[in-house]
Copies of this chain bind each other. A is one copy, B any other.
């Protein structure tokens, strides 16, 4: 089954982490691949080090990707992330596979929709796949079984609060 969390509101990656948390509670194995989040230390990165059934692999440069002009390295990292996802899904060793920010990599044109669809089509049907990121393309919304749009109603950045450790990352 494919879950898709999209929209401009907070809670997409966070919801996928919540699914990981719950699955781990039931003794399931979780693999999370983060697109466009290279070398960042998030709370989840630290958890991955201490929980044996939770694997987290990050791809991407540390810097934000310039949407209008991605660097060759951005394409390369996104391609690597997708190849990694293909392998992890094909292996079938994990119960829950999170492709975090895959929607954004697609939206930025760093990866090809046809390749994503091919990977999903070839994934074992027993896999629970979670895809996150804003601006999900209609084809993925069509393909997913469960789609939630996180809609921003109110955000503290608007009132001048910046991202805080332990909460936003």
Contacts and interface: CB of A to CB of B under 8 A. Distances in A.
A95 B16 contact: no
A44 B19 CA distance: 10
A129 to B, nearest CB: 11
B23 A21 contact: no
A11 B5 contact: yes
Nearest to A157: B146
Nearest to A42: B22
A72 interface: no
Contacts of A23: 43, 166-167
Contacts of A116: none
Interface of A: 1, 3-5, 7, 9-11, 13-26, 28, 42-47, 95-96, 128, 141, 144-156, 159, 161, 165-167, 169
Given A15-B18, A22-B47, 14 more contacts: A1-B167, A4-B153, A11-B150, A21-B44, A22-B42, A22-B43, A24-B43, A26-B165, A141-B154, A145-B156, A145-B161, A147-B155, A148-B152, A149-B153
